[in-house]
């Protein structure tokens, strides 16, 4: 799969419109499809210009608007996610390449890294496992946090493998991370100090925004009628994969803390709940 490169700086718009005015107009148009219309417009404009967003805001607002901005805006107005349009998404302390076929990293998932950092404190995990790694989101963020650690990402998706390999090279982690095709814990052996997972947890009848439902992979979103199918598969097998003193951290839907905690306790784990920046239940640490 050919992965998209960053867009080069585009030619100025033929109508002479300036970046500042184009952003204002785009933000108004995006109000009908986005909860963050101004941010979306700025990210797309920065991509069209081939510059970071901060440079756009500090130095480029009075430049001619690039011709490449209008096609990007048109794609966003069809509910295509900004991350798929630009080909990248910031997460934790890293920038990840993403695109169709992989789940877009979300700020809520950073709660898992916060939980792991609190658990390990000054002691770093040596071996890290990321189940359902996608483009390597949780694994690469953890490896960036603990430079001496090594990790394994597991996923059954070929698109995930493409993006994982691209991110591994871009982040300079070729010697520290590897990818394995697999179905959760099936066929895995060895022990890991830290296991991370953001499994599908949406019920099959739940409604989702168009940009998620129509663009992101269903296999990374839905997990049976109650959204718990994959927890029931993963959690009972975690104990054999955890090294002594290790921990597993799983993302959950904000209404699922009690249900997933019960599955974990029935499998012999102590459970600690962590909340995201919106004060919603978001991660369970199992030890």
Our count of domains for the chain comes to: 2
Backbone angles phi, psi at 129, to 5 degrees: -120, 130
Cα angle 102, 243, 239 (rounded to 5 degrees) comes to 70
pTM: 0.92
Q: Are residues 13 and 49 in the same domain?
A: yes
Distance CA 202, CA 195 (A): 21
CB 154 within 8 A of CB 132: yes
Instruction: Please give the Cα distance from 49 to 44 (Å, whole number).
Output: 9
Shared domain for 168 and 223, answered yes or no, is yes
Q: Is the pLDDT of residue 76 over 60?
A: yes
Rounded-to-integer distance, Cα 85 and Cα 46, Å: 12
CA-CA distances (angstroms) from residue 251 to 15, 87, 107, 193, 204? 48, 24, 12, 17, 18
Residue 154 has pLDDT above 70, yes or no: yes
CA 36-51-110 angle, to 5 degrees, is 50
Print the domain residue range for 121: 100-286
Q: Are residues 170 and 273 in the same domain?
A: yes
CATH number at residue 1: 1.10.8.10
pLDDT tops 70 at residue 7: no
The answer to whether position 166 is within a domain reads: yes
pLDDT above 70 for 54: yes
**Residue 13's pLDDT is what?**
60
169 and 244 fall within a common domain = yes
* Distance of alpha carbon 169 from alpha carbon 188, whole angstroms: 24
């Amino acid at each position: 799969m050919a992965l998209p490169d960053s867009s080069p700086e585009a030619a100025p718009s033929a109508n002479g419109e300036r970046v500042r005015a184009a952003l204002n107009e785009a933000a108004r148009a995006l109000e009908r499809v986005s909860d963050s219309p101004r941010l979306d417009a700025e990210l797309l404009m920065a991509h069209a210009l081939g510059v970071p967003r901060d440079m756009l805001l500090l130095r480029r607002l009075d430049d001619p608007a690039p011709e490449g901005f209008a096609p990007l805006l048109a794609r966003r107005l069809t509910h295509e996610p900004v991350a798929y349009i630009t080909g990248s998404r910031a997460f934790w302390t890293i920038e990840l390449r993403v695109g169709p076929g992989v789940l877009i990293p979300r700020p809520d998932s950073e709660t898992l890294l916060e939980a792991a950092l609190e658990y390990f404190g000054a002691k770093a995990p040596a071996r890290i496992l990321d189940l359902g790694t996608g483009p390597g989101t949780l694994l690469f963020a953890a490896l960036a946090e603990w430079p001496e650690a090594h990790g394994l990402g597991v996923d059954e998706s070929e698109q995930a493998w493409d993006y994982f390999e691209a991110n591994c090279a871009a982040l300079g982690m070729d010697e520290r991370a590897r990818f394995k095709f697999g179905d959760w814990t099936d066929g895995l052996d060895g022990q890991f100090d830290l296991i991370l997972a953001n499994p599908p947890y949406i019920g099959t009848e739940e409604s989702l925004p168009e940009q998620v439902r129509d663009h992101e992979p269903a296999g990374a979103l839905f997990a049976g009628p109650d959204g718990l199918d994959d927890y029931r598969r993963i959690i009972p097998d975690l104990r054999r994969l955890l090294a002594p003193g290790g921990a597993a951290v799983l993302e959950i839907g904000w209404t699922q803390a009690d249900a997933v905690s019960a599955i974990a306790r029935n499998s012999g784990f102590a459970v600690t709940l962590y909340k995201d920046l919106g004060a919603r239940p978001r991660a369970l640490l199992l030890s």
